[in-house]
Amino acid sequence: MAVAERRLVFYDTETTGTNIEFDQIIQFAAVLTDENFKELDRINVKSRRLPWIVPSPVAMIVTGTSPSQIDNPDLPQFPEMMTLLDRKLKSWSPARFIGYNSFYFDEPILQRALWQTLFPPYLTVTYGNARADVLPLVRATSRITPHALSVPTIASGRPVFRLDRLAPLNGYAHTNAHDALGDVLAVIHICKRIATRSSALWATFLDC
């Protein structure tokens, strides 16, 4: 199967903090769809904290996660979670891997996690895969076809592109923001809206 058939993998991570070099993925979720956003498969896995990882208090507050939750002995250990991820994501390949602000955070922390657990790290750009980041697409949409999306603003009028504010304003009940699967479903909703209301821009996004 060729990448041109456009199987799409929407994915997101929840982590112990925002430092790519020192923090850890504690939840990974992804939904595989066809080019019409029909769901074909999904994965949603969590990992217990590695013993040398010190979670960021801010990250724990934002995600609503307690120390006891990430130290739960019933959760898979980190290498076990990454083994499941590597097997599943390779089985979905070739595909386009799509995240929200993923180029600057989710993708590099996923690469590091794969490397740490002795898997080839560049999964999203090998095995016939390609990658894309929805955040630049949303910014472009707000300028090129502003009718396609409602964009929240702060008091000064500056636009805000945070997913937890953007998704509800565009008709998605984002009650589980900062849960990896909840964020994945929110991104799919935003992409459907852009594809419907700005089809040429969406097609360009996929082709690039």
At 39, which amino acid appears?
Answer: E
pLDDT at 3 over 50: no
Instruction: Tell me the pLDDT of the chain averaged across its residues.
Output: 93
The overall pTM is greater than 0.75: yes
| 66-104: pLDDT as tens digits | 888 899 999 999 999 999 999 999 999 999 999 999 999
Identify the three-state secondary structure at position 25. strand
Q: The tokens 């979905």 sit on which residue?
A: 92
CA distance 12 to 15: 10
For the record, the structure tokens of 201 come out as: 């821009």
For the record, the structure tokens of 139 come out as: 């910014």
Alpha helices in 153-198 (DSSP H): 163-169, 180-197
CA distance 103 to 135: 9
At 134, which amino acid appears?
Answer: V
Cα end-to-end span (Å), the chain: 19
